Structure 1
Amino acid sequence: MAAEVHENIATVWETIAEVLPDALAQAHGDRRFTWSAFERRANGVARTLLDPRASKDDRVALFLRNSPEYLEVQHAAFKIGIPAINTNYRYRDEELRYLFDDADVTSVVFHGSFTETMSSLRPELSNVRQYLHVDDGTEACPDWAVPYEQAAAADAGQVRSAWGRSGDDLFLLYTGGTTGMPKGVMWRVIDMLRQINDVAGLSFDLENLEASIRGTLVEPGPVHISCSPMMHGSGWFGATMAMHKGGAVASLVAPSLDPAELLDTIDRHRVQSLTIAGEVFARRILAARAEDPDRWDVSSVRNLLSSGGMLSEASKEGLLELWPEASILDGFSSSEGFGMGWSVATKGNIPPTGRFSPGANTTVLDEEGKPVEPGSDVVGTLVVVGRLPLGYYKDPEKSERTFPVVEGERRSVPGDRAVVLEDGTIQLMGRDSLCITSGGEKIFTEEVEGVILDHPSVADVLVIGLPDPEWGQTVAAVVSLDPEAPAIGADEVVAHVKERLASYKAPRHVAIVETVPRGPNGKAVYSEARRIAEELRQPASA
C-alpha cells in the first residue's frame, strides 16, 4: 500500500516558482506576472491574512471575477492551510449572506465593482474581520478595506502559519446545484492535488514532490485561458492544470465573454488550451471568427475543455474547423465526484451530443443496485467510487444521502441519471431534481435538450416541467435561435423532437427567446427558464 502523502498544492506552486522564476505565470490585459512575482505576491497576501486573531478555522472568500488576484489569493490560502471560498459574483445579497455565514468566512477579497454590495452586507457579517479591495478601475477602495496591492506588496518571504499546512487541509468547493442555497463540498487538498496530477498531462511523484518537480520541469508549460469563471470547478481546474505544468493563465478583462478579446488573447500569447462552458460560448467564438476570418492567428490551440453545458455536434464541427489539430474534451463531472464521463471529439470524429464514455470509477445502477445492462434502455443512477469528498460542510444528513456506504464501500450519488448503450457508452438523461413526470411517465430534461439542440436553427435550449392539472406536469422548452439560420417556430421544435423521441417527451409549450437564461459559467438557470415558460402560457392580458 502506498504511503500517505501530506503535500499541498502550495508546495507545487512554490517549487515551480523556484525552478521557473522568470517564466510567465499570469497575464491580464496589459499586466504580466512571472512565477517569482506570483509567489512573492501570494506571500504578501498570506501575511496579511495572518492577522493577530488568525486561526486554522479562518476562511477567505474569493468575491472576484477571473484575474491574477484569484489564483494569488488561492495560493496564499494553500500556503497557510485555510480554505479559499469560491463565491458566485452573480449571487444576490441573500445568497451571499448565506454563503459567507455557512462557510464561516473571516476575510473577503473583492473586486472594486462589488464595493456597493459588500458595503451593504458588512453590518450583517459579524465573523468577517478584514476586507481586501482589488482595484478594477471602478469603485475606489473604501476606508474599511485594505488595498489589495498594499497586501500583495508586503515583503513577507516564505509565509507559514503557526498551525502549518498539509494534504489533509480542507478544500471547500461551493456549488449552487439546481435547487436550494449553495452547499460546500468538502475535499482534502491532497485529493485535489492527486486529481490534478492525474489529468493535467504532467505527473509528479507525490511522495518526492519537490525533487520530482525539479527533475521534470525543464521549460515553461502551455498558456491557458479559462473562459468560464474560476469561481466554478471547471474554470478553476482548467487554470490549475496549466499551472501544474509550469504554464501560465491568461484571464480576460471583460466582465463577460468578449469573443474578440478571447481571440486577440489567443493570438497574442499563443494559447494552447481553453476551458469553455458549452454551446453559448462556442457559438459566440464561431460568430466572431466568421465576421473577421483573417484577423487572428489562433492555430496554437490544441485542447478545449467544455463543462457545465452541452456542446452540439454542429458547434464541435465548427470549432474543429477553426482548430483542426485540437481535441475537444467534453467533460461530465460534478463537485461531488470528478471524472464521471468523457467525450472526446477530433476533426472527422465527433460523437453524438450528450454521449460519454464512463469514467473508470463510474457505474450506472438500476433500482435494485445492480449494474444496468447495456442496450436495455433502463434509466439508471450514476454512482462514483474511489476518490471522493468528505461530505457537505456542516450538513451530515445531506452528506449521508449523497455519499452512502453500501456493503462497506463509500459512494457518491449526485443524482444524475443515464442509460447504458450497447457499446458501453452512456447517454445522459438529467438529474432526479429536474426529472419531469407527465401522465405517469418520467421524462429527463437533458435527453430532450440534446435533441432540440441538434436542430440546425437552435442556438440554445433549456427544458423544464410545468404543473398541469391533468397530466401532473407537462414539458416546456425555452429556446433561442441562431440568427444566421432559417427561423423556426414552436411547431418545428415539437416535430423535431417527435422524429427522434417518444411523442410524450415533446414539449407542449415552447418559448422562443433572444437568450436562454444561464449563469456566467454557462450553467442553466432553470428557475428563470421556468418563470419564462410560465409567463408564456399565461393569457396576454395577464
Structure 2
Amino acid sequence: MTMTPYLPGPGDAVAYPSGMLCVDKSVTLGPVPYGFHVPQTTLFENLEISARRFPGKTAIQFYGNAISYAALLDEVERLAGYLQQACGVGRGDRVVLFSQNSPQFIAAYFAILRADAVVVPANAMLLEDELRHIVTDSGAVAAFAASELLGQIAPLVGTTPLRQVIAHSYGDALTEEDLGGGARLAIPDWARQRARDVPLPAGVVHWLQAVAAAHRPMPHRSTPDDLCMLPYTSGTTGAPKACMHTHRTVMASVAGSQLWRCSHAESSFLAVAPMFHLLGLQNGINGPVYVGGTIVLLPRWDRRTAAELIARHRVTFWAAPPPMLVEFFAQPGIESFDLSSLGCVVGGGAAIPEGTARLMKERYGLTFVEGYGLTETASFIIANPLAAPRNGHLGVRTYGVDARVIDPATLEEVPPGEVGEIAVHGAQVMLGYWNQPQANAESFIVIDGKRFFRTGDLASVDADGYFVMRDRLKRMVNASGYKVWPAEVEAMLHTHPAILEACVIAARDPHRGETVKAVIVLRPDAGSVGADEILGWCRSHMATYKAPRIVEIVERLPRSATGKIAWRELQEKEMEGGALPNLKG
C-alpha cells in the first residue's frame, strides 16, 4: 500500500488552514505568526548548523559538566564513523537506542542520524522479551545501550538481527570534580558508574572504545524524505508497532513547535521527560538543538534537583506531564527557589489540577500550556497558544494542520460542540506503521482528497476553535503520561499458568492519574495463587509502567451478547467506584 502523506514542497510555507484556526476573531494568539517555512534539512544538520554557529556554547548541562556544541558534534562524528566502519551500519539500517536521559543518549541519537541510519528508541523500562520484539520487528543491526540495561539487550546479540551493542556508563560524562561534590548536586549512585566498573559480555564494546577508535564517517547522504525514526507505540491488537517518521515529518513538528512557543538560542530547556518518548525527544533534544539552546539534563525525576537546576541554570522552558508538575510545586521548601526564569511550561495527557494551576499562576505567573499530540504525529499537532491558553482544552490547530471531529461510524464531520473522533492531517503525520498494512488500512482515511489519521480519541470543538478531550474510542490507560494498551498487558497475563482470563482496565490513582488494574479469572487447578503472587509475576515479566498495580480475582467476567468480555462495563463501574458487575457465581 502506498502511503502518501501531506508534505510541503521545497520552500513551501505551512500556514493555518483557512477559516479553521479560530472562529471567534476576538481570541488573540499573541506573537504566533500565520505560517512558517519547514526547513529542507535533516535532523542531524540541525546539530551541525548549531555547532557551527555556537561552537563554544553549552549544548548540555549534566550535573555540573558543561558540554559545548563543538564537543558534542565531535563525539557524534566519531560514533557515526564507528557505526559505519566497525559495525557495518548502512543507509536506512535500524539502530536501537536503549537508555535513560544522558549526554550519551543525545550523542548516540545524532550519531545514528549522522550515519544515515534510523533511530529505534526503546523504553528503558522494557524487559528482555519486550525488547526482543522491537529488535526483531525493526530488524535492528546495532544498538546503543546504557550499561545497567545490558542484561536485557546483550542476550539478543546473535539470536536476533542485532550484531553489535555499544554500551555507555553515565558517570563517564561527569568530571572527577563533579563526582567529588563540585557540582553541589545530589548525583545518584547509578549515575556515577564509570566504564571501568562494568564487565562487558560478548558482542558488546564500550562507548569510550568506540570514541577512541576515531573513525570518521562517510559524507552525510540522508534527505528530508529518508526514514529517521521508528518509535514504537502499542494499540488495541497487542504487540507494539513502529511509526515511520522521516526527517521531514519530525522537522515539521520541531520547527513548528519552537516557533509556536517563541523559543530561541538563548532559551534553556529542562530535559527530564524520558527521551525515549516523543515528549522528551522533541522537547528535550530536537527542539533545543534546532534553535541552538541549552539542554539542562536530569536523567531521572527528582523534584528537589529539578528545582535546583531551574534556579542555577535559569531554565526558561519545561515540558512535563501534569503529575510531575503537581509533585514539583507541592514539595516542601519550593518557595525558597528562584523560579523566575521559567516562562513556558507545556505538557499533555491531562489537564493540570485546579489547585496546582492556581499556585503556578498566583506565585510564579505561570500558566500550564496544554497540547495534544501522538507518537504518530511526532508529538506537536494541536496546541494552546501561549497568549490565550485554556486549562482543560487541548488547544487549536497548529501550522498546516487540518484536524476534524468526525463520527466514528459514518466518518462525516460532526457539528461544533458535538463529540466525535479526532482525525488529523498535516506535514508531521507519520507515513504509516512499519510492516503493518492492516493497521494502516484501519488508521488512515481520505476526506476531501486529503489523507487523515484516525487518532481514536474522542473530542469536541468549541465556538472558538479549541478542542476539548471527551473520551477514548480505543482502550488505553494513561499512567503518568505513559500509554498502556490493555490488549498488550492481557496477552502477557494469559501466559501465566494460573490465569484463565484477564481484563485490564484503568483505575484512578492520586499520583499517576490512572494506574493499571487487572481483573482475573483463575484456572480451576490454580490452587492457592493469590493477587500478591500475580502482582510479583507481573513486575518480573513486564516493564514497570505496564505491570498492573492492582489485581482483582473474580469467578467470571461479564460478557456482551456476542460473548466478548465487556471491558467497558468493568471500566465504567471502576470509575464510578461501584461494585464490579456480575462477577460472582
Q: Is the 8 A contact 2:458 2:471 kept in 1?
A: yes
Q: Would you say 1:18 and 2:59 are equivalent positions?
A: no
* Deviation at residue 475 of structure 1 after TM alignment: 12
Q: Is the 8 A contact 1:306 1:331 kept in 2?
A: yes
For the Cα contact (< 8 Å) 2:273–2:279, is it kept in 1? yes
Where does 1:307-386 land on structure 2 (aligned, <5 Å)? 307-324=348-365, 326-337=366-377, 338-343=379-384, 351-359=390-398, 360-366=401-407, 367-375=409-417, 378-386=418-426
Aligned length: 447
Q: Which moved more, 1:181-190 or 1:47-56?
A: 47-56
Code of the aligned partner of 1:193: M
- Kept after mapping to 1: 8 A contact 2:95/2:144: yes
The residue aligned with 1:528 is 548
Shift of residue 20 of structure 1?
Answer: 0.6
2:486 and 2:254 mapped to 1: Cα distance?
A: 35
Q: How far does residue 354 in structure 1 lie from its aligned partner after superposition?
A: 4.7
The answer to whether the aligner puts 1:146 opposite 2:214 as a matched pair is no
Residues 69 and 123 of structure 1: CA distance in aligned 2, closer, same or farther (over 3 Å): same
1:173–1:233 contact (8 Å) kept in structure 2: no
Cα separation, partners in 2 of 1:233 and 1:534, compared to 1, 3 Å: farther
1:119 counterpart residue number: 154
Distance 1:235 1:188 in 2: 18
Of structures 1 and 2, the one scoring higher in RCO (CA 8 A, sep 6+) is 2
Give 1:422 shift: 4.2
Contact 2:267–2:315 at 8 Å: present in 1 too?
yes
Unaligned runs of 5+ in 2: 1-7, 12-38, 171-191, 488-502, 512-538, 556-573
Kindly state the Cα deviation for residue 49 of structure 1 after the two structures are TM-superposed: 0.5
* Superposition deviation, residue 108 in structure 1: 1.2
Query: How many Å separate the matches in 2 of 1:152 and 1:475?
Result: 45
Give 2:226's aligned residue: 169
Equivalent residue number for residue 90 of structure 1: 125
Q: TM-score, normalised by structure 1?
A: 0.73
Cross-structure match for 1:283: 326
| Unmatched segments (≥5 aa) in structure 1 | 205-216, 436-444, 454-459, 466-473, 483-518
CA distance in 1, matches of 2:261, 2:336: 37
SS in 2 for 1:411: strand
1:70/1:477 Cα in 2 relative to 1: closer, same or farther (>3 Å)? closer
Segment of structure 1 superposing worse, 47-56 or 3-12: 3-12
- Inter-CA distance 18–299: structure 2 relative to 1 (3 Å threshold): same
220 and 370 in structure 1: CA distance in 2 versus 1, 3 angstrom threshold: closer
Asked if the contact 2:44/2:113 (under 8 Å) is kept, the reply is yes
Matches of 2:375 and 2:549, distance apart in 1: 23
How far 1:90 sits from its partner (Å)?
Answer: 1.3
| Backbone CA RMSD of aligned residues | 3.8
CA distance in structure 2 between the aligned counterparts of 1:422 and 1:11, rounded to whole angstroms: 41
State whether residues 328 and 344 of structure 1, in contact with CA within 8 Å, keep that contact through their aligned partners in structure 2. no
Cα displacement (A) at 1:430: 2.8
Matched position secondary structure for 1:362: strand
**Which digits, 9 at most, give the CA deviation of each residue in 1:418-474, with x for residues without a partner?**
123344433212321228xxxxxxxxx99xx9xxx9xxxxxx9x9999xxxxxxxx9
CA displacement at 1:118 relative to structure 2 = 2.4
- Percent identical across equivalent pairs? 20
TM-score, normalised by the number of residues in structure 2: 0.68
Cα distance in structure 1, aligned partners of 2:296 and 2:326: 21
Which residue pairs with 1:77 in the alignment? 112
Cα distance 1:421–1:294, how it changes in 2: closer, same or farther (>3 A)? closer
Once the 2 structures are TM-superposed, how far is the Cα of residue 287 of structure 1 from its aligned partner? 1.9
2:382–2:396 contact (8 Å) kept in structure 1: yes
Counterpart of 2:105, as a letter, is Y
Deviation at 1:235, TM superposition (A): 0.8
Report the Cα offset of residue 302 of structure 1. Answer: 0.8
In structure 2, which of residues 304, 307, 312 is the aligned counterpart of residue 268 of structure 1?
A: 312
- Equivalent of 1:37, from 58, 71, 86? 71
Q: 1:177 to 1:118 in 2, by over 3 A?
A: closer
1:103 aligns with 2:148: no
